[in-house]
Amino acid sequence: MHPVDEVLPPVKLFSTGLQHVAAMYAGVVAPPLIVGAGVGLSAADLALLISASLFTAGLATLLQTLGVWKIGARLPFVNGVSFAGVAPMIAIANEHGPKDALPVIFGAVIVAGALCFLAAPYFCKLIRFFPPVVQGTVITLIGVSLLPVAVNWARGGSPGAPGYGSMRAIGLAAITLVAVVLCNRLLRGFWQQLSLLIGLAFGTLIAFPLGLADFGAVRDAKVFALPSPFHFGGPAFDVAAIVSMCIVMVVSMTESTADMLALGKIVEREADETTLAAGLRADGLATAISPVFNGFAASAFAQNIGLVALTKIRSRFVVAAGGGILILLGLFPVLGSVVSLVPQPVLGGAGIVLFGTVAASGIRTLAEAGMESSANTILVSVSLGVGIIPIAVPNFYDSFPEAVRTLMHSGISAGCVMAVLLNLLFHHVGAARRAGSGSASGPGSGSAAGSAAGSRSGQASDATVPTATPS
One digit per residue, pLDDT tens: the chain, 471 residues?
788 999 888 888 888 788 788 777 767 887 888 888 878 888 778 878 888 999 999 999 999 999 999 999 999 988 988 877 887 888 888 788 777 889 999 999 999 999 999 999 998 876 677 788 887 887 788 778 878 878 888 888 767 777 788 899 899 999 999 998 898 889 876 677 667 778 878 988 998 888 777 776 677 677 887 888 999 989 999 988 898 898 888 878 877 887 887 788 788 887 888 899 999 999 999 999 999 999 999 888 866 776 777 677 889 999 999 999 899 888 987 776 676 677 888 888 887 887 787 788 778 778 877 788 888 999 999 999 999 998 888 888 888 876 677 667 777 778 888 888 899 898 888 764 555 554 433 444 333 334 333 433 343 334 333 333 443
3-state SS class at 120: helix
Domain span at residue 124?
A: 3-462
**Is position 345 within any domain?**
yes
| Separation of alpha carbons 362 and 355, rounded Å | 11
Neighbours of 453 (CB within 10 A): 13
Amino acid 443: pLDDT: 41
Please choose, from the candidates 112, 132, 124, 73, the residue with its C-alpha nearest in 3D space to the C-alpha of residue 304: 73
Beta strands in 14-152 (DSSP E): 79-81
**Is position 469 within any domain?**
no
What CA–CA distances, in Å, run from 356 to 85, 266, 349, 459, 471?
Answer: 17, 26, 11, 23, 11
Q: Which amino acid is at 158?
A: S
| Separation of alpha carbons 4 and 60, rounded Å | 18
Contact (CB, 8 A) for 380 and 366: yes
**Is position 349 within any domain?**
yes
**Is position 99 within any domain?**
yes
| Separation of alpha carbons 101 and 113, rounded Å | 18
**Is position 358 within any domain?**
yes
Burial zone of 160 (CB within 10 Å; 0-12 exposed, 13-18 middle, 19+ buried): exposed
| Separation of alpha carbons 238 and 91, rounded Å | 13
Domain count, the chain: 1
Amino acid 294: pLDDT: 93
**Is position 13 within any domain?**
yes
| Separation of alpha carbons 372 and 397, rounded Å | 33
**Is position 276 within any domain?**
yes
Task: Write the CB contacts of 390 (distance below 8 Å, at least 6 apart in sequence).
Answer: 91, 396, 397, 408, 409, 410, 411, 414
Instruction: Give the global pTM.
Output: 0.67
Neighbours of 125 (CB within 10 A): 11
**Is position 470 within any domain?**
no
| Separation of alpha carbons 79 and 449, rounded Å | 34
Contact (CB, 8 A) for 326 and 53: no
Burial zone of 60 (CB within 10 Å; 0-12 exposed, 13-18 middle, 19+ buried): buried
Phi-psi region of 121 (alpha: psi -120 to 50; beta: other; left: phi over 0): alpha
Amino acid 403: pLDDT: 64
Task: Write the CB contacts of 69 (distance below 8 Å, at least 6 apart in sequence).
Answer: none
